[in-house]
Structure 1
Amino acid sequence: MPHKTNTITLHNRLVKSIMTLTLLIIITLSISIIYIVDEQENEIIASETRAWANILAQNSSLFLKSDNDNSQSALSSQLKKLISTPLINRIHIYRANEDGSIEYFSSYNKNLNFPAVSDKISQISQLSTIQYEENHLELIVKITQDQHLLGYLYIQSSLVEKQNFIKKLIYLMLSFLFFALLLAFGVAQWLFNKTDQPVAKLIEDIGQISQSKNYTLELANQPYKELDVLAKNINVLLSRTDKHINKIIDNHQYALSQNQALENRLSARTDALKESNQELLSTLEKLHEFQGQLVETEKMASLGDMVAGIAHEVNTPIGLGVTASSLLSDKLNEVKAAFDDKTLKSSQLKKFLTDGVENVSIIFRNLERAAKLISSFKKVAVDQSSAENCTFNVHSLLDEVLLTLSSKLESNNVSVSLLCPKDLNINSQPGPINQILINLILNSIYHAFEELDHGTITINVMNLSDQLHINYSDDGIGIDNSVKAKIFDPFTTTKRGSGGSGLGMHLVYNLVTQALDGHIVLNNESKHGVSFDITFPVELAAT
């Protein structure tokens, strides 16, 4: 949909433009004239003020030198006689004493109704140049005789007459502006009437062509050059439009015939595509079944690794127990033979009892370790196959997983740092959690630490807002950038052809997202090794 713009008529545009231009010219001219007149009047008044100040200062010097008591009133009378201009409002005469002080001496006030003003002795230095106020200007000049300072003369001149003249000038300019705007409006109307008729005729002809859709018609020549150029360009546009419409009609007919042919070919290919889709659906179902079997195989493979590790771990304590029991049996036979021959010594019996206690202790410790390993393996194996919710201690669950994988961890020189509260009891599914951690640990052993002498796995567990957060990280060789984006996809492996199925992390992803209703994220900010953030909802159980 085209953007709607605000339009204005040519009449309004022409009238506004001419009147605005006239207004700007008149206002600019008026302000310039008023400014020039104001400046000139200020200069004239300032010049007259200086002249009168000098004349009055000369005439006041004789009175300031006189010691007569009537000199002040005489000077005031002299000022009234001398001042013949309405320009001057007030005169102050200040006398300079020999001690350097200055005192008021005499004054002149044009009108008795004028309020008196305070003396300007404190402003002598400031008023040594003309200062303009709202309705007057002020000036102080020195009164000297033979280069000897006798005093100062303060003069105040009125600006009222100048201001009245400026006001009259402003009224005159406003009147001139009003008549200029009327004239501009009349000129704009006349110009519009001269140009509107051919434009209206041009618009009417274009409307008839648009209504009849007969693009072979042409616009007539126009009286104005600009409109005539516009009419010629519109005629060219109409000619091209007619050709374009004819071309579109031909193309449409050709497209209809092509569409019919395409429909026939599409119908034939649709039938073939339906058959291919049916074959693809059946193949996809088989692939899903095969993937499920591979996932189960991956579970059994990890369980097999645990079985091998447990077998190795259990073999050591049982072997030590068998050796200790065999040694204890030999010692027992020696003591029995000595007892039967009546050659049994107290020292021999004492040594037998000491060795017997030590051997029994060795047998007990190793059998207890074997029983603990078998119990842990049984619990992990049962938890792996269980998808039911139960209450369990998270720290104990992780200890059992690490115990079942201790053989793998020791043989590959991998240490595990477990950070988990020992009193964290939750109600969840231990089976998926077991399987997730086993797959992550085995994945680190087989991939992250393959070419390293030593490795460290860190498991950090915390409960926040009914969510269990597990951060699993290792300091191995890390994951290649080309694999990171598809790490959880099925059949993604870096050991293709070396026994890797590529389903380990896919199984972890499915267990987290489906079995535990959570989410797992690969932390891309990790500079060394890998780091997975696993979060899923749990119900905190009472300790």
Structure 2
Amino acid sequence: MPHLINTMSLHSRLVQSIMALCAIILLTVSTSIIYIVDEQGNKNIASETRAWANILASNSSVFLESENDNSQSKLKSELEKLISTTLINRIHVYRSNEDGSIEFFSSYNKNHKFPAISDKIDQISQLSTIHYEENHLELIVKIIEEQRTIGYLFIQSSLLKKQNFISKLIYVMFGFLIFVLILSFSISQWLFNKTNQPIAKLIEDVGQISQNKNYQTQLATQPYKELDILAKNINILLLRTDKHITTIIDEHQYALSQNQALENRLSARTDALKESNQELLSTLEKLHEFQGQLVETEKMASLGDLVAGIAHEVNTPIGLGVTASSLLADKLSEIKTAFEDKTLKSSQLKKFLTDSDENVSIIFRNLERAAKLISSFKKVAVDQSSAESRTFNVKGLLDEVLLTLSAKIKSANVTISVICPDDLDINSKPGPINQILINLILNSIYHAFEGLDHGTIAINVMNLSDQLHINYSDDGIGIDNSMKAKIFDPFTTTKRGSGGSGLGMHLVYNLVTQALDGHIVLEDDIEHGVSFDITFPVELAST
């Protein structure tokens, strides 16, 4: 969306610019004049004050040296006679004694209504130069007689007259500013009206051309040079626009004819492409069916490995049980014969009971081990063939898988370390988890530990934020860098031609991502072996 631009009319721009310029100039001039008048007024008052101070100090010296008791009142009368200006507000005369002290001698006050002020004896050094206050200025000068300081004269002059004059000057300037603004507004209105007429006519003509789309029309000559240049450029633009539109129409007609020919060719090619796509779809469906069959075959192959391992494991305890039961039957036959012949001895019976107890114990332990193996295999086989959710203990599931694969693990001399909480009960799909762990362990045995005397597998399980994290790692020969990028792709194997289908890790990937709705990552920054991080959502079983 384009940015909105705030526009202003030429009339407003012209009026505001002229009035602002006049106001700035007049304010600058007025401020300068007021400042100059104020500074000059201060200088004149300061000069006149200093002159009066020197005159009055000279006339006061006689009274300061007089021993007459009426000299103070006489000095006051003399000051009233001498001061003929309204500039001076107050006069203080101080006498300097021989001991260096200074005392008040006499004073003058322009108006008896003026309140008296305290003496300025403590400020003699500060007021030796003119000091400005809000409405007056103050000054103290020495009274010297025969190059000897006999006293001091304090004089206070009014600034009100100057301030009143400046106030009047401000009012005059303000009135003049209003007059100038009104005059500038009138002038700007007149200038705008003179300039706007040809502009309005030009806008009207351009609007008519745009509305009628008659780009061959030419604008008339304008009275102002700038507008005339604009009109000539608009005329050039109109001619080029008309030429461009004609070219576009011709190209559009040509494009229509080309599009029709292209549509005919495209229709023929589309028909051919539909036939090819149909063949490809049929081939793809067959490929998916074949891949599904291979995946099921891979599942059955892993189940076949479990059957072979369980058969080997079950064979040993059953064989021991058969041997113990045969031995027990032989012993029982001997005892029965001795009993029938009445040659049975107590020592012989005691030995038979001891041997029988040992054989029964052997039979029970081995049958119990075989039953446990068969039960674990049954649970793993049922879970592996089912994708339904149920509540189960994760540590128990791991133990059942390891017990089922114990024959493969022992024959490959592999040590498996499991870190999993004993009380971790979840609601999930044990079948896919069984299949994932079996495929990973068998993959390590067949590929990672090939040619090695011993191998180690670590399985670390934890639950974080309703996510079950399984880290599976081994210290085998690892995966070549060229194979890491496509380790989960179907038909990727390092045993091609040696019985490897290349679907083991692809099956693991599908089980994690589709059956468990999780994800699996191969860590590629480890030095030896492989490490898989598997994460999928679970629900903790309610206790």
Q: Report the TM-score, using the length of structure 1 for normalisation.
A: 0.77
What's 1:253 paired with? 253
Report the CA distance shift for 1:237/1:115 in structure 2 as closer, same or farther (over 3 A).
same
Query: Any residues of structure 2 matched to 1:32-47 within 5 Å, and which?
Result: 32-47=32-47
What's 1:17 paired with? 17
Give 1:218 deviation, angstroms: 2.3
- Per-residue CA deviations over 1:511-538 (Å, capped at 9, x if unaligned) read 445444x432648897776452523242
- Per-residue CA deviations over 1:444-463 (Å, capped at 9, x if unaligned) read 66677779976553423226
Q: Is residue 479–residue 530 contact of structure 1 (8 Å, CA) maintained in 2?
A: no
Secondary structure (helix, strand or coil) at the match of 2:22 reads: helix
One-letter amino acid of the counterpart of residue 134, structure 2: E
Give 1:163 deviation, angstroms: 1.5
Give 1:315 deviation, angstroms: 6.8
Q: Distance in 2 between matches of 1:409 and 1:391?
A: 28
Give 1:239 deviation, angstroms: 1.4
Q: Distance in 2 between matches of 1:450 and 1:51?
A: 121
- Per-residue CA deviations over 1:424-449 (Å, capped at 9, x if unaligned) read 33343322232233344555666777
What's 1:286 paired with? 286
Report the CA distance shift for 1:293/1:144 in structure 2 as closer, same or farther (over 3 A).
farther
- Per-residue CA deviations over 1:171-227 (Å, capped at 9, x if unaligned) read 222222223223323332333333333323333332333333332232233332222
One-letter amino acid of the counterpart of residue 230, structure 1: L
- More displaced 10-residue stretch of structure 1: 73-82 or 223-232: 73-82
Asked whether 1:230 is paired with 2:230, we answer yes
Q: Distance in 2 between matches of 1:14 and 1:459?
A: 81
Q: Distance in 1 between matches of 2:449 and 2:52?
A: 109
Give 1:104 deviation, angstroms: 5.4
- More displaced 10-residue stretch of structure 1: 242-251 or 527-536: 527-536
What's 2:85 paired with? 85
What's 1:196 paired with? 196
Asked whether 1:48 is paired with 2:48, we answer yes
- More displaced 10-residue stretch of structure 1: 39-48 or 88-97: 88-97
Secondary structure (helix, strand or coil) at the match of 1:387 reads: coil
Q: Is residue 427–residue 538 contact of structure 2 (8 Å, CA) maintained in 1?
A: no
Q: Distance in 1 between matches of 2:444 and 2:100?
A: 104
- More displaced 10-residue stretch of structure 1: 439-448 or 157-166: 439-448
Secondary structure (helix, strand or coil) at the match of 1:108 reads: strand
Q: Distance in 1 between matches of 2:400 and 2:306?
A: 12
What's 1:474 paired with? 473
Asked whether 1:532 is paired with 2:536, we answer no
What's 2:417 paired with? 416
Q: Is residue 413–residue 455 contact of structure 2 (8 Å, CA) maintained in 1?
A: yes
Q: Distance in 1 between matches of 2:407 and 2:120?
A: 109
One-letter amino acid of the counterpart of residue 474, structure 1: S
Query: Any residues of structure 2 matched to 1:58-137 within 5 Å, and which?
Result: 73-93=73-93, 106-120=106-120, 127=127, 129-137=129-137
- Per-residue CA deviations over 1:95-122 (Å, capped at 9, x if unaligned) read 6678877665554332222233445556
Give 1:166 deviation, angstroms: 1.4
One-letter amino acid of the counterpart of residue 86, structure 1: T
Secondary structure (helix, strand or coil) at the match of 2:461 reads: strand
Query: Any residues of structure 2 matched to 1:394-543 within 5 Å, and which?
Result: 394-406=394-406, 411=412, 413=414, 415-420=416-421, 422-442=422-442, 455=456, 457-462=458-463, 464=465, 467-474=466-473, 490-491=489-490, 493=492, 495=494, 497=496, 501=501, 503-516=503-516, 518-520=517-519, 522=521, 530=531, 532-538=533-539, 540-542=541-543
Report the CA distance shift for 1:360/1:20 in structure 2 as closer, same or farther (over 3 A).
same
Q: Calculate percent identity across the aligned residue pairs.
A: 70
Q: Distance in 2 between matches of 1:417 and 1:207?
A: 85
Q: Distance in 2 between matches of 1:268 and 1:435?
A: 50
Asked whether 1:216 is paired with 2:216, we answer yes
Q: Distance in 1 between matches of 2:281 and 2:168?
A: 100
One-letter amino acid of the counterpart of residue 213, structure 1: K
Report the CA distance shift for 1:276/1:159 in structure 2 as closer, same or farther (over 3 A).
same
Q: Is residue 325–residue 360 contact of structure 1 (8 Å, CA) maintained in 2?
A: yes
Secondary structure (helix, strand or coil) at the match of 2:112 reads: coil
Give 1:494 deviation, angstroms: 6.3
Report the CA distance shift for 1:428/1:202 in structure 2 as closer, same or farther (over 3 A).
closer
Give 1:250 deviation, angstroms: 0.8
Secondary structure (helix, strand or coil) at the match of 1:114 reads: coil
Give 1:299 deviation, angstroms: 2.4
Q: Distance in 1 between matches of 2:222 and 2:53?
A: 75
Asked whether 1:177 is paired with 2:177, we answer yes
Report the CA distance shift for 1:375/1:203 in structure 2 as closer, same or farther (over 3 A).
same
Secondary structure (helix, strand or coil) at the match of 1:491 reads: coil
Give 1:244 deviation, angstroms: 0.8
Asked whether 1:273 is paired with 2:273, we answer yes
- Per-residue CA deviations over 1:141-176 (Å, capped at 9, x if unaligned) read 566667776665544332222221212222222222
Q: Distance in 2 between matches of 1:366 and 1:184?
A: 119
Q: Distance in 2 between matches of 1:78 and 1:354?
A: 156
Q: Distance in 1 between matches of 2:449 and 2:162?
A: 101
One-letter amino acid of the counterpart of residue 469, structure 1: L
One-letter amino acid of the counterpart of residue 21, structure 2: L
One-letter amino acid of the counterpart of residue 391, structure 1: T
Gaps of 5+ in 1: none
One-letter amino acid of the counterpart of residue 193, structure 2: N
Q: Distance in 2 between matches of 1:191 and 1:279?
A: 82
Q: Distance in 1 between matches of 2:253 and 2:219?
A: 31
Gaps of 5+ in 2: none
Give 1:59 deviation, angstroms: 5.2
Q: Distance in 1 between matches of 2:78 and 2:224?
A: 80
Q: Is residue 427–residue 541 contact of structure 1 (8 Å, CA) maintained in 2?
A: no
Report the CA distance shift for 1:403/1:119 in structure 2 as closer, same or farther (over 3 A).
farther
- More displaced 10-residue stretch of structure 1: 240-249 or 206-215: 206-215
Q: Distance in 2 between matches of 1:443 and 1:167?
A: 103
Q: Distance in 2 between matches of 1:524 and 1:27?
A: 78
Q: Is residue 523–residue 533 contact of structure 1 (8 Å, CA) maintained in 2?
A: no
Q: Distance in 1 between matches of 2:147 and 2:409?
A: 115
Q: Distance in 1 between matches of 2:102 and 2:312?
A: 121
Report the CA distance shift for 1:214/1:357 in structure 2 as closer, same or farther (over 3 A).
same
Q: Distance in 2 between matches of 1:202 and 1:70?
A: 96
Structure 1 vs Structure 2 CA RMSD:
4.7
Q: Is residue 486–residue 492 contact of structure 1 (8 Å, CA) maintained in 2?
A: no
Q: Distance in 1 between matches of 2:478 and 2:136?
A: 91
Give 1:27 deviation, angstroms: 1.5
Secondary structure (helix, strand or coil) at the match of 2:387 reads: coil
Give 1:253 deviation, angstroms: 1.2
Report the CA distance shift for 1:105/1:372 in structure 2 as closer, same or farther (over 3 A).
farther
One-letter amino acid of the counterpart of residue 460, structure 2: I
Q: Distance in 1 between matches of 2:76 and 2:449?
A: 117
